Structure 1
Amino acid sequence: MIVLEDVTCRYGGTGDAGNGAIGERGDATIVAVDDVTLTVPDGEFLVVAGANGSGKTTLVRTFNGLVRPDSGTVSVNGTAVGEDLVAARVAIGMVFQDPRDQLVSATVGGDVAFGPENLGLSHGEIDRRVAEALEAVNMVGREDDRIATLSGGERERVAIAGALAMEPDHLVCDEPFTGLDEPARESVLGHLRERHAAGTGVVVVTHDLRDVIGLADRVVGLADGRVVVDGTPAEAVPALSGLGVRVPRGGERFGDDRFPDDEDPDA
């Protein structure tokens, strides 16, 4: 379980959000996350939605200590993130918006093995994790493929496999569909669906609800760093449609009638 209590992150403050290392907006005076309290249960499929600059990326990077809040607390499985960064980063598998920011090895197999190797696991355990992670993203037999030769969708799948090899409690994917064509998007969606069905908590960060809202148990919407909605997908759509978030029209991508036909998908 991930628990945030009264979390605030400022650019230019004392936490990592202030050092320019990450961020959705560059103004050093910006409050990126503003007094957010949030609980993410194990096994939940959570969508964190908001326009560009709403604080989504900053928020989820507090989950495993990539960003330290200026105030408030973050704990994972009952332990404060700052007290045990390794445990937090094992429990929270993070897939960045651009997979190139986290792919560190020349080959697929080497990259997926990187995290488990740094945990000091045995060769047998590392091989098992790599094999299972590659199977989960349909890349069995491609261990020796060069990262540089992969398509954008394939790199996304390798990044997901690298996170899965850590056997996390929660898999966090930041804008996982950016730049992907339709087959690649469907492939990534399928993998996220399978991980959720297998019991892994999934958190998807997005400005476009249309791909994932049919999978979501819950949607948390952000605007200017604050939570503006925390509820079911049906509750989220009207709350976010005017805040720079693309929302489904009618039963788009659902095959049902949870949403009125006149919802604007381009708001």
Structure 2
Amino acid sequence: MQHASSPSDMGIRLDRATYAAGGRTILSGISLHLTERRIGILGPNGSGKTTLLRLMAGLVAPTDGRVTVEGIEPASDRRAMLGAIGILFQNPEHQIIFPTVEEELAFGLKQMGRSAAEARRAARDLLAAHGRAHWAAASVATLSQGQKQFLCLLSVLAMAPRTILLDEPFSGLDLPTQIRLSRRLAALPQRLVTISHDPAAVADHDRVIWLEQGRVRADGPAPEVASAFRAEMEHLGGLDADADLAG
């Protein structure tokens, strides 16, 4: 007996997705179908990783080709995406918009249709469940970088999206905070799509995609792709590539 597929089973699909801006093509003809539970996207700086996540989240629309999340074009129906996909940015300062922790957490819940009172109550319940009930009235400005990153993660989790996009989630965090955040992410039931320039960050994922100059260079099991990426980066690191003056 076959069971009906859930929306999450449809995953994220890119069909020859291209994105250009300012006269420059950043992504070119990307075709992927992402259904695995843990997916990594590797690439050096400037490879188009963050732009790819922004396409998936619907923050920008492809200039050519098509992107769908659970069968819906995210850029054209942001409300439908609230329960489908969330994004954790590299810099929490780019994500936090309210002065207190409770207000920040309640914002997304109100977008999903909850009343202000329901959203505040749910925000306090979420903080209590994570041992941080005392954060509710705190000014966001008093939080450390790691605490701000965790607040952003809680804001995403409050909306219970089926897929979470992570943009360099460990950047700027000290090692103990990285370990704590890594443990929390590993325990999440959602599909996670993590972009990084560090192959160690995605080495245990189900699938890794190597992005190079806006194109897919490799796509496959994490050990193979992460190892090949590391070898290439070590090769490039051994070259005195910046010795010549710019032309």
Verify the 8 A CA contact 1:51 1:243 in the aligned structure 2. no
Given the alignment, which residue of 25, 34, 40 partners 2:34? 40
Identity %: 33
- Higher Rg: 2
Q: Does 1:79 align with 2:79?
A: no
| In the alignment, structure 1 residue 194 sits paired with structure 2 residue 187 | yes
- The answer to whether the 8 A contact 2:57-2:74 is kept is yes
Look up the match of 2:196: 206
Residue 5 of structure 1 pairs with residue 53 of structure 2: no
Aligned to 2:226: 237
Q: State the AA in 1 paired with 2:176.
A: P
Judge which range, 139-148 or 82-91, deviates more: 82-91
Contact 1:90/1:168 (8 A) holds in 2: yes
Determine the C-alpha separation between the residues in 2 that align with 1:137 and 1:34: 41
Which runs of 5 or more structure 2 residues have no equivalent in the other structure? 1-10, 239-247
Q: 1:175-225: per-residue Cα shift (whole Å, max 9, x none)?
A: 111111011101110111111xxx2111111101213423x1111110001
- Does 1:227 find its partner at 2:237? no
- Equivalents in 2 of 1:156, 1:237: separation in Å? 26
Measure how far apart 1:131 and its partner are: 4.3
Q: Which has the higher contact order (CA 8 A, sep 6+)?
A: 2
> Could you tell me how far 1:80 is from its partner in structure 2?
2.1
> Is the 2:161–2:190 contact (alpha carbons within 8 Å) kept by the matching residues of 1?
yes
1:73-118 deviation line (CA, Å, top 9, x unaligned): 1111112224412112431111111010110111111111111112
Judging by fraction of residues, say which structure has more helix: 2
SS in 2 for 1:78: coil
| 1:254 aligned partner | none
1:244-255 equivalent positions in 2, closer than 5 A: 244=233
Q: Measure how far apart 1:123 and its partner are.
A: 4.7
TM-score normalised by length of structure 1:
0.78
Contact 1:2-1:40 within 8 A present in 2 as well: yes
- TM-score (ref. length: structure 2): 0.84
- d(CA) in 2 for partners of 1:74, 1:148: 36
